[in-house]
Amino acid sequence: MSIIITEFILYCVAILGIGYFFSKKSKTHSDFLLGGKKLPGWALAFSERATGESAWLLLGYTGFVFMSGLSGIWVAAGIASGIIFAWLFLAKKFMRETDKYGVLTLPDYLAARFSERANTIRWLSTLLIAGFLMFYVGAQMAGAGKMLFTTFDMSPVTGVVLSTVVIIAIAFAGGFISVVWTDMIQSIMMLVTLVVLPIVALIYINTNDLSISQSLADAGSSFNSWFGGLTGFAIGVLFFNNFSWFFGFLGGQPQLSTRFMALKNDKEAKQGSIVAIIWTILAYSGAFMIGICAITMYSQGSFADVEIILPTMILELMPPWIAGILLAGVLAAIITTADSQLMVVTSSVSEDIINKSMGINLTEKQLIWVSRISVIFFGLIGMTIALVSESLLYLVVSWAWAGVGCTLSPAILMAFFWKRYSGAGVIATILAGLISTVIWISTPLESIITSKFTTFFIAAFFGIIFSLLMPDKKQTISNDKTEEAL
């Protein structure tokens, strides 16, 4: 155990050292929030993937597969499809639109794109992002508590507090640049964990004459079926509920989209897409296999909390010095995602509200300090949520995914590809997504069909209707001129 503790301490010191080193490169507010568009595409890709696949992937998804069996593959299929689509079809568009409008955040882009209703869009999108992402940050910190409890028998409260200190310190030091470079290290750590552990688990299963197929059959009638043993309409519901993670990846997750916005040129975008796609295939294949191997190694009901399966397997299957490295990969996932989400909330407050909406004129240095104070404030809120919440990581992240990603994704897609989309349509999209998500997750409707699916289409529907009913003035003038010419 002393070896694992030593590796954990060295890892945290190294990450903090990297954060401090790159803090010296954040000289302007643009550097602090978007890296000044100076970062290489491969680093941004590693960062985007590490940010997207948090404690949810290593703890939440592996536990979900353990509880559901083969049908858990559709979650991975939906997410992988969304990631690939975003990098191939949206990354370059984000990069060009960022350059065109000179913006630093996702709300700022929507406000600049639909300037007639800029302030309303900024306030609503910031409220949406801050409201839901704080629960996401809290979920990461709760994940840290679970992992440290499993590894060191440490009080979950102590684990949450310690992880909060590291998370805040990295984001406070150097902003976006620090976060991206620490993300890159942590992304590699995560990938090593997700690739090595299932290989070792399969060797263990083979050595001990265990059978994956027999274990799936023994676990329950639904475990050895790709569709959970369902038929007819029920298959469609299962497919959409699991595959629906796809909709949140279509530009609406600000902590991911900022990586696209930070790209320098087409060459860097192509380089980033290759890295991100390879990472995704390896990571999700590994996480799925960890869940399947766990079904073979442990009987159902063995865990009071299935989200500690991965650290348990690491401790049981690995020698201490390797276990320390792989468990650091889990901590890496938590730190990198929480940092990125903190930066998104911070940028929305400092750039979109204080600087743009309220029009408070601050120097570059003052804006950076406003951002740093925001990091501490929202980090402490996230810690409080982690300490008082008993919700599972999988569920909390799922709700945040619907509230933010599946609300803003239709707004981004229509802003990119539909000329008749209007400022009123953006406002309607955000309000419809926010309200429908809150109503959906508060009623039995969520257990029938997931809000990740319904939010996307409800938000899109109202966005289309209000854009047609209330077009922007410049669109109306343009249409009138076209009619006069005819």
* Residue pLDDT, tens place only, 438-485: 888 888 887 778 888 889 999 999 999 999 999 987 655 544 444 444
d(CA 21, CA 42): 20
pLDDT at 237: 67
Q: Per the structure block, which two tokens stand in for 410? A: 């239709």
Q: How many CB atoms lie within 10 A of CB 213?
A: 9
pLDDT at 231: 59
Q: Evaluate if residue 216 carries a pLDDT over 70.
A: yes
On whether residue 434 sits in a domain, the answer given is: no
Averaged pLDDT for residues 181-205:
87
Averaged pLDDT for residues 202-217:
90
Q: Report the number of distinct structural domains present in the chain.
A: 1
pLDDT at 428: 96
Q: Evaluate if residue 283 carries a pLDDT over 50.
A: yes
Averaged pLDDT for residues 307-312:
83
End-to-end CA distance of the chain: 80
Question: What would the pLDDT profile of 148-160 be if each residue is shown by its tens digit?
Answer: 777 777 777 888 8
Q: Evaluate if residue 11 carries a pLDDT over 80.
A: no
CB-side neighbour CA atoms (13 Å) of 45: 24
On whether residue 196 sits in a domain, the answer given is: yes
pLDDT at 84: 93
pLDDT at 104: 79
pLDDT at 159: 80
- Please give, one letter per residue, the 3-state secondary structure of 35-95: HHHCCCHHHHHHHHHHHHCCHHHHHHHHHHHHHHHHHHHHHHHHHHHHHHHHHHHHHHHHH
On whether residue 220 sits in a domain, the answer given is: yes
* Closest C-alpha to 433, from 451, 421, 413: 451
On whether residue 431 sits in a domain, the answer given is: no
Which domain CATH number covers 118?
A: 1.20.1730.10
How many residues make up the chain in this entry? 486
On whether residue 428 sits in a domain, the answer given is: no
d(CA 110, CA 125): 9
Range of the domain at 304: 2-393
221: three-class secondary structure by DSSP: coil
Question: What would the pLDDT profile of 394-418 be if each residue is shown by its tens digit?
Answer: 566 677 778 888 899 999 999 999 9
pLDDT at 483: 42
Q: Evaluate if residue 373 carries a pLDDT over 90.
A: no
On whether residue 215 sits in a domain, the answer given is: yes
Name residue, tokens 């960890």. Answer: 290
d(CA 70, CA 65): 7
Question: What would the pLDDT profile of 42-65 be if each residue is shown by its tens digit?
Answer: 989 998 888 777 667 888 888 889
On whether residue 482 sits in a domain, the answer given is: no
Averaged pLDDT for residues 384-397:
67
Q: Per the structure block, which two tokens stand in for 182? A: 């620490």
CB-side neighbour CA atoms (13 Å) of 169: 17
pLDDT at 470: 93
pLDDT class for 6, splitting at 50, 70, 90? confident
pLDDT at 392: 52
Of residues 162 and 215, more confidently modeled: 215
300: three-class secondary structure by DSSP: coil
On whether residue 453 sits in a domain, the answer given is: no
Q: Per the structure block, which two tokens stand in for 444? A: 């039995």
* Closest C-alpha to 340, from 62, 191, 136: 136
Question: What would the pLDDT profile of 233-276 be if each residue is shown by its tens digit?
Answer: 666 666 667 778 888 888 888 888 888 988 988 999 999 999 99
Of residues 122 and 131, more confidently modeled: 122
